[in-house]
Structure 1
């Protein structure tokens, strides 16, 4: 378990993290979300003892990181996939970490196999793509078989197969009863991965709740209706207080529960080809909740991003 209590970090006149309090429970994947500059990385660094808080505490199973014996057996982290000497092989890097925490050398081979890097274990990390470095970072985090795991942008540089693999992998870790905290800007991926969310903005806590509750409380649900008698049905629904927005051969209905819409259609003898509840997305909810916490914003649409290079999917063989 991770417990953050009143955590504050001040740099000069800048408050990077402001009286932050939340818990990350075992058995779930917790998404750590916030706009750029929200304080996510600073918070994770304080949890790992890399930065000292101005005030407050960050505890791992009741202890600060500095008091953990053999910390790799308690908590594993992937914060920066490029943090590795480029002239050191993947296997040598892991062997060094294993020796520093008195872990058996056999564990190195196990984690290399787990992340699909066994066949390139003797290659220098400087020859790795970003996706391969991400896999090596995951292997480092898992080396001590810890119960608590922190991942910062773990799918960065991965292709779709790699993203699916790490999503499944993180959920399997949580299913084993481990505590998993993952920060990501890929909200569509977080919607599929995270059971719980901690959302911050400008260093302050905005929300800490289940992903489903966060979406339902921050977006308006609609009901999609498709019917051969759509015009007559739309008029009936409007007379009963609904807002009906045409959408081609269907319509989006707000203001009435799906059960009442079905009952009204049945009472009017209207044939329904589709009647489906539609909930807003995590992206919509996030934009709605964090709009005032964005550090930099513009009314102009952003330029199309350049597609990153991706590694060969599945176990790496080159």
Structure 2
């Protein structure tokens, strides 16, 4: 009898529409044919993008220790062929490359540290509404992004400052990147609640204490992103060494690799009369591939450790709904 009554109650209960049925994430939703088609298209596009990004790097790696005749003939596509370490032997047998590595590491570490020490406090100060001249100062910063003195006045300035053939020419002139300054300022304005500053004032913290104890610990994402930008910029700095450095022991890695490459091309074409121009070019190409690996390997090693911060911080300043 009770069973019949319960059945009657359920029969008379109102039916819920599909929009009113609560979502249960444990219940697997059946996909329609159109959903499968969209998923397949998305996966194909993602696979094509990943292949387009990874394959050139993989090709450079395998070409750097493959026989260059096979590379030139198009026989090296996925796996190396005719292993040859000529390019790496030529580079690492030159003592200049180790000195270039040392110089680049010093310039990059000190330069990035100075960049962060200057950029983060400046961005924080320019983000505060209490700082009245911030708009004028920000305009002056932005002005330098569009107008500069040029190469010759810059060289004369570095000469008068005594920075020629000095490690400081890689560090001091680029202490602030206006673009990174704008990104950091936007982060402080949009991502750090003003309520935190009010609470810090109640606890008796000064602006400096508020910046060190509260703002910086909450800014790990933007610090990692801007630090990576600065690090890559210093590591790939080539023009400053070409323009301001004439002493061999002060050259960074990028300029040393360029000298090794040019010297190899000259030696192959000038000293070995039995070698054809094509063979000399093949050896030069192998050194080029090796130069790419030697110059980019440290960045490839560092990036995976900063990827989670980079993914989060790279969207800072984007339009939010």
Q: Give yes or no for TM over 0.5.
A: no
Q: Which has the higher contact order (CA 8 A, sep 6+)?
A: 2
Task: Give the TM-score normalised by structure 2.
Answer: 0.21
Task: Give the TM-score normalised by structure 1.
Answer: 0.21
